[in-house]
Structure 1
Amino acid sequence: MDLALDNAVDVFREHGFEGTSAEMLVRAMGIGRQSLYDTFGDKWQLYRDALRRYATVETHAHVIALRSRERALDGIRAMIDRVIDDAGNACLGVNSTCEFGASRPDLEEIKVAAGRVLHGAICERVREAQAQGDVSADLVPESVAAFLEASFSGIRIAARGGGDPAQLRMLGDLAMRALR
């Protein structure tokens, strides 16, 4: 069932909720229409399940990149590089925010929970980088985390809008410079 859900994630990433039909989903998921409804309920429930899975997988991958280097600043760079390298693939989190804003509490609950995990992990690495002398000591870790999260959204939107790899890399470099 995870593979079917991952395939639904891919469709929603590319087309959004409104732009995705049940036919597109059953084709991508490799299941019949009745199986879709029996297993996932309606399209909205499937979308929430897809967003939850996407948020969990992406947050985990970000945290792994963040913790992948001995020096905290290098881990932050690895996380930024991961976002840049993957920015050509639509982000379901950013897209759901663009499509629904904060109007859907059930979606907000999913995004807030994932955001809390990522935010905490970034703050932890920022504090380590400050202790290592690599990030300015007068920066507030929570503000740095919020800035990086907003930068990630901006990088992903820039990519979705046709930004080339050099532009995306420049945005990541500017985010790193802001930490000094």
Structure 2
Amino acid sequence: MARPREFDREAALQNAIGVFWSKGFAATSTDDLRKAMGIGRQSLYNTFGDKRQLYLEALRTYQRKSMSGHIARLTAPESPLDGIRDLLVGLTPEDAALRNLGCMGVGSVCEFGVTDPELVSMRQKIAPLLAGRLVGRIGEGQAKGEIDDSLDPEAAATLIQITMTGLQVAARGGADDDELHTLALFMVDRLRA
């Protein structure tokens, strides 16, 4: 009996994320995944399950990493307004190839909408994490006199999240980093006291 091929599971998962991120779920074949991951078909199934299970794991992993980056950029500066600026500007890397991928999470929403209950549930679990942090930073900014105190913090947080989605879709559509940064700064200026 042949011994199963050993491979680095995390590296294989990262490669799968790259394929799903660039192509989406439907356009990604099992062969695309197998080749990118450097594993055989049986190893893929034995380790990750079917394509859908691999996609769900890839999306969860991507979301955890991106959410961690969002929250770090938002909370690192002492100034809440600077944190919001860093959050928005940090969405769009200078590397055009990476920038043009947009966001895998936004891509999932565009591909599936609300038709997949498991994906909707994943979004409903992760979205409040950033929303809560945004509401908190907006409140801090209002208390410090940086952010317009007539703004409703929850509505402003929702607008920032919608702006994030728009920036990612524009990036996927080929907008360059100067355009995206200009739009991000425009949004931040709308919050200013």
TM range (shorter): over 0.9
Counterparts of 1:58 and 1:165 in 2: how far apart (Å)? 18
Aligned length: 180
How far apart are residue 22 of structure 1 and its match?
0.6
- Superposed, which structure 2 residues align to 1:25-174 within 5 Å? 25-85=33-93, 87-174=99-186
Q: 1:87 to 1:128 in 2, by over 3 A?
A: farther
Match of 2:5 in 1: none
- Residues 89 and 185 of structure 2 are in contact (CA less than 8 Å); yes or no, is this contact kept in structure 1? no
Specify the structure having the higher radius of gyration (Cα). Answer: 2
Mean CA deviation greater in 166-175 or 78-87 = 78-87
Identical amino acids, percent of aligned pairs:
41
The 3-state SS of whatever aligns with 2:114 is: coil
Structure 1 ranges of 4+ moved more than 6 A: none
Counterparts of 1:64 and 1:56 in 2: how far apart (Å)? 12
- Tell me the C-alpha RMSD between the 2 structures: 1.3
Give TM-score, length-normalised by structure 1.
0.95
Give TM-score, length-normalised by structure 2.
0.89
The 3-state SS of whatever aligns with 1:84 is: coil
The 3-state SS of whatever aligns with 2:142 is: helix
How far apart are residue 138 of structure 1 and its match?
1.3
Deviations 1:67-115 (A, max 9, x none): 1111111111111111122643331111011111111110111112111
- Residues 65 and 78 of structure 1 are in contact (CA less than 8 Å); yes or no, is this contact kept in structure 2? yes
Counterparts of 2:89 and 2:100 in 1: how far apart (Å)? 13
Q: 1:133 to 1:87 in 2, by over 3 A?
A: farther
